[in-house]
Amino acid sequence: LVPLFDIDQENQILGMREAIFFARQLNRTLSIPPFFKKIVLAQSVERLSMPQDIILDPEQLKESGVKTLDWKLLADTCGGKFDQFFVVNQNFNCRVTRRDLWDKFLRLINFNFDKNLYPKVNEDGKCGIENSLPVLKSKNYIAKSGKNIIEDFQTDAKCVLLAYPFENIDFLSIIESER
């Protein structure tokens, strides 16, 4: 499971929390690409990214029970393409700035542009990616339990992109349901 985060740093941190939860619920290996400093369209990927350990403690992640894969191994492990896309927010994918982020992200992880088509507006006017789960009925996917995630996102696909996780998990409901 590979998260593609929003450009805002606070949103990236919140998205990381959700990506960890998704990986744990689905028993998937998590590969965390570098975080983005700030997106400026003309900047190079190297100037835009910063190492994960500035924001995330790798030892604490190991203690959480989530398996991880070094992001530098993604291209070889996945053959340069994603097999499945988890779309959790329809509105984030089709804007021009998101296109630039998508391109920079693929370049950063050494993925093939031809094999990873950019999200586009579908006939129904909604933004989408071919081969995505779930088919969203509303603007955002909101999970109220780990069971929701398992039911909606179970797949045998090897390499999965979690597109723009942010405010998609109702952690308060989950905590209350576990009491």
> Residue 177: which residues within 8 A CB-CB, separation 6 or more?
144, 145
Q: How far is C-alpha 16 from the chain's CA centre?
A: 8
Position 134 scores a pLDDT of: 56
Q: DSSP states of 126-152 as a string?
A: -EE-TTEES--SSSB--BSSHHHHHHH
Q: What share of the chain is helix, strand, coil (3-state, %, to 5)?
A: 40, 15, 45
pLDDT for 152 equals 83
**Contact (Cβ atoms closer than 8 angstroms) between residue 31 and residue 16:** no
List of residues 6+ apart from 169 with CB closer than 8 A? 18, 21, 142, 143, 149
38 HSE (CA, 13 A, CB side): 1
Residues paired with residue 85 on neighbouring β-strands, in sequence order: 132, 161
DSSP 59-79: HHHHHTT--B--GGGHHHHHT
Mean pLDDT by 10 residues, the chain (179 residues): 81 86 92 72 58 73 86 91 79 59 80 71 64 58 82 88 82 81
